[in-house]
Amino acid sequence: QVQLVESGGGSVQAGGSLRLSCVASRNPLCMAWFRQSPGKEREGIAVIGRTDPTPRSVEGRFTISKDNTKNTLILQMNDLQPEDSAMYYCAAGQTSFGGRCPLAYEYYNTWGQGTQVTVSS
């Protein structure tokens, strides 16, 4: 089973940027970023696939990318706001639909330990 190790979280002021990284022990079919705040459900933010050429992000301020040579997933987050404060998780899965990777947590079976992002106003 693939192993995931995240890094890059921290505390920033509103309007700042952070870059999250996730190193995978192998190159899974689908990789995604999720986040979860206390009392809220885990929500998908961005997804990219090994054979899916179009990375997708539900947040225009965030960009997902992947360095396939290093099996490293990146989430560049710009113009961060207090509502972005959450635990951010990297996830890997082997399910796709018509070649497109889903952005729903039930399709991901491997998770990183999470990295905390805190944005102050």
pLDDT at 68: 84
Print the SS3 string covering 18-61: EEEEEEECCCCCEEEEEEECCCCCCEEEEEEECCCCCCEECCCC
Mean predicted lDDT score pLDDT of the chain:
94
* pLDDT tens column, 48-101: 998 876 889 898 999 999 988 899 999 999 999 999 999 999 999 999 998 899
pLDDT > 90: what percent of the chain?
84
